[in-house]
């Protein structure tokens, strides 16, 4: 890793010399070996930058050109490698740390307008009465027109106790509404739990961050100490995009006493490792159903694959996303980060997750309009992404594939509606509170509960 880091640092230094100082670098390269293809490429790159900067029809920002060139280089590797500008790098760190200073809203750009998807329950935005669908037109008096999403996020975040003013347009309200909010620490909860029925627990893990396993164990201990104690568990990993590898390993270890959890295999020896389970003092022998779908990726696939291979859980739902590659993030100068792929994941039985996904033991699609269908059917998975890696290093990168065709004919409007439902479901899954009514109307959750109850009944008959 250190050698690669030095190479990228060298590249950045060379580019900085060309762009900032505008010096001719041809003399420098004359002293390099003519057979060194890397430096030949750098010479060509510097020539192109120089020509464009001096002769292009309109003035260009050389720094912007360089950043886009590096981004293009990294993006050509695979869909998950990228140059992270300071704002994006900061977002990535916040996502894994589990909290930030802000007002507690989920926002998006919708038709060019900064739109609230939903407030996070219990936060300043929620308590002030901000609602999903509200359009933010000003932040601290500055118009959000032409403002980038990351700029808006940065303006609304800040230290606990500081203030931010929002002007909002709401459907049905004639005049803009003004809010002055006091920022607070906004927790990003990755674990939510509830009892579906006495003795049967439900835990939803929305992503893997620093405290995920600790929070799951806390919820398990509550359920195990209840009356009646835990007899079966639904572990919901649907729409979980992944996160920290060590947390996926630790969560798997909570339910396994021995054996391999996951192995990673990379080109460098240091990026080839095996992670094994350890015997703990807690005996957890109750049956588990793990829920997955097309939005379950990376770390969530590691957990599902480990529990499935060890016959410790039944996996129910639809085939997962298939992101079986390992990324690392290196810190660069000026607040930039470089995320790039260093290895592939393999389940205990040796299955590659990459571009394959975890196939459920019991396929159950989510019910929409009283039919078993799922918006995941109409969205691309890892195997459909451009430049995706194959399941094995010997496989060539696959060409970009067309969007999978649904099994039944649906109108364009119906597909778009399904996609909107999927987006809404993901938002509610990550930020919304749990309530028993919603879970009771969730077809996949109820099927999992039926199986757990049936197992318990059968066990009683057998004994």
Region label for 328, one of left (φ > 0), alpha (ψ between -120 and 50) or beta (otherwise): beta
- The predicted pLDDT at position 42 comes to 87
Q: What is the mean pLDDT of residues 342-364?
A: 93
Q: What is the mean pLDDT of residues 117-127?
A: 85
CA distances from 246 to 50, 230, 239, 242, 326 (A): 45, 26, 19, 11, 12
Q: What is the mean pLDDT of residues 174-188?
A: 91
**309 catalytic, yes or no?**
yes
- Compute the distance between CA of residue 443 and CA of residue 449 in angstroms, rounded to an integer: 10
Task: Give the pair of three-digit tokens for residue 339.
Answer: 């995320």
pLDDT at residue 166 tops 70:
yes
pLDDT at residue 244 tops 80:
yes
Q: Tell me the longest C-alpha to C-alpha distance in the chain.
A: 85
Question: Is the peptide bond between 63 and the residue preceding it cis, with omega within 30 degrees of 0?
Answer: no
- The predicted pLDDT at position 142 comes to 94
Give every CB contact of residue 21 below 8 A, 6+ residues apart in sequence. Answer: none
pLDDT digits (tens, 9 = 90+) for 420-460: 666 666 666 666 667 898 899 899 999 999 999 998 776 66
Q: Do the Cβ atoms of 323 and 382 come closer than 8 Å?
A: yes
Confidence of residue 378 (pLDDT cuts 50, 70, 90): low
Which range has the worst mean pLDDT, 194-198, 248-252, 425-429?
Answer: 425-429
- The predicted pLDDT at position 58 comes to 93
**40 catalytic, yes or no?**
no
Highest mean pLDDT of the ranges 145-154, 302-311, 432-441: 302-311
Confidence of residue 98 (pLDDT cuts 50, 70, 90): low
Q: pLDDT higher for 289 or 379?
A: 289
- Pick from 282, 306, 191, 292: which is nearest to 230 by CA? 282
Residue 123 phi, psi (nearest 5)? -90, 170
Which range has the worst mean pLDDT, 90-94, 316-320, 341-345, 374-378?
Answer: 374-378
Q: Which domains, ranges and CATH numbers included, belong to the chain?
A: 2-76 (no CATH), 99-187 (2.30.42.10), 191-462 (3.90.226.10)
Give buried/exposed letters for 225-241 (b at 16+ CB in 10 A, else e): eeeeebbbbbbbbbbbb
Give every CB contact of residue 138 below 8 A, 6+ residues apart in sequence. Answer: 144, 165, 166, 167, 176
Highest mean pLDDT of the ranges 88-102, 109-123, 379-393, 399-413: 109-123
In 3-state terms, what secondary structure has residue 228? coil
Residue 22 phi, psi (nearest 5)? 65, 25
pLDDT digits (tens, 9 = 90+) for 37-93: 888 888 899 899 999 999 999 999 988 898 889 989 998 999 889 898 888 888 777
- The predicted pLDDT at position 369 comes to 58
Task: Give the pair of three-digit tokens for residue 74.
Answer: 């990294």
Give every CB contact of residue 278 below 8 A, 6+ residues apart in sequence. Answer: 253, 257, 258
Residue 360 phi, psi (nearest 5)? -65, 150
Catalytic residue among 78, 215, 236, 309: 309
Long-range contact set of residues 65-71: C-beta below 8 Å, sequence gap at least 24? 66/15, 66/19, 69/45, 70/11, 70/15
Task: Give the helix/strand (H/E) hosting 72.
Answer: helix 62-75
Q: What is the mean pLDDT of residues 248-261?
A: 97
pLDDT at residue 287 tops 60:
yes
β 191-197/273-276 pair status: unpaired
Q: Do the Cβ atoms of 254 and 217 come closer than 8 Å?
A: yes
Catalytic residue among 46, 81, 298, 352: 298
Catalytic residue among 138, 323, 381, 426: 323
Span between the terminal Cα atoms of the chain, in Å: 56
């Amino acid at each position: 890793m250190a050698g690669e880091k030095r190479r990228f640092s060298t590249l950045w230094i060379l580019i900085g010399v060309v762009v900032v100082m505008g010096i001719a670098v041809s003399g420098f390269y004359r002293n390099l070996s003519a057979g060194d293809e890397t430096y030949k490429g750098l010479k060509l790159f510097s020539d192109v930058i120089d020509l464009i900067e001096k002769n292009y029809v309109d003035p260009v920002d050389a720094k912007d050109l360089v950043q886009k060139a590096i981004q293009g280089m990294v993006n050509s590797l695979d869909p998950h490698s990228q140059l992270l500008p300071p704002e994006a790098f900061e977002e990535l760190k916040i996502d894994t740390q589990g909290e930030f200073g802000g007002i507690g809203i989920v926002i998006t750009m919708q038709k060019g307008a900064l739109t609230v998807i939903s407030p996070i329950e219990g936060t300043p935005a929620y308590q002030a009465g901000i609602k999903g669908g509200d359009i933010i037109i000003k932040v601290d008096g500055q118009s959000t027109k032409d403002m980038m999403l990351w700029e808006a996020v940065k303006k609304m975040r800040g230290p606990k106790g500081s203030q931010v003013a929002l002007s909002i347009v709401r459907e049905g309200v004639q005049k803009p509404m003004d809010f002055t909010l006091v920022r607070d620490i906004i927790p990003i909860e990755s674990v939510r739990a509830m009892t579906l029925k006495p003795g049967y627990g439900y835990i939803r893990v929305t992503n893997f961050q620093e405290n995920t396993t600790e929070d799951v164990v806390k919820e398990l201990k509550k359920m195990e100490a209840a009356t009646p104690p835990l007899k079966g568990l639904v572990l919901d990993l649907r729409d979980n995009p992944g996160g920290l590898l060590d947390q996926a390993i630790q969560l798997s270890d909570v339910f396994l006493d021995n054996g391999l959890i996951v192995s990673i295999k990379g080109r460098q020896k240091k990026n080839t490792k095996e992670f094994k389970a350890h015997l703990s003092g807690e005996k957890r022998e109750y049956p588990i159903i793990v829920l997955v779908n097309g939005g379950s990726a990376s770390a969530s696939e590691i957990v599902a694959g480990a529990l499935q291979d060890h016959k410790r859980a039944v996996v129910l739902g639809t085939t997962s996303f298939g992101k079986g590659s390992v990324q690392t993030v290196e810190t660069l100068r000026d607040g930039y980060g470089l995320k790039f792929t260093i290895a592939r994941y393999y389940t205990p039985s040796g299955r590659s997750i990459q571009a394959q996904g975890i196939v459920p033991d019991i396929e159950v699609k989510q019910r929409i309009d009283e039919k078993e269908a799922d918006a995941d059917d109409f969205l691309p998975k890892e195997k459909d992404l451009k430049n995706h890696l194959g399941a094995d290093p010997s496989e060539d990168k696959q060409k970009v594939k067309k969007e999978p065709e649904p099994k039944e004919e649906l109108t364009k409007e119906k597909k778009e509606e399904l996609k909107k439902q999927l987006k809404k479901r993901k938002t509610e899954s990550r930020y919304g509170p749990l309530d028993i009514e919603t879970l009771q109307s969730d077809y996949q959750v109820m099927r999992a509960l039926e199986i757990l109850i049936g197992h318990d009944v059968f066990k009683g008959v057998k004994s």
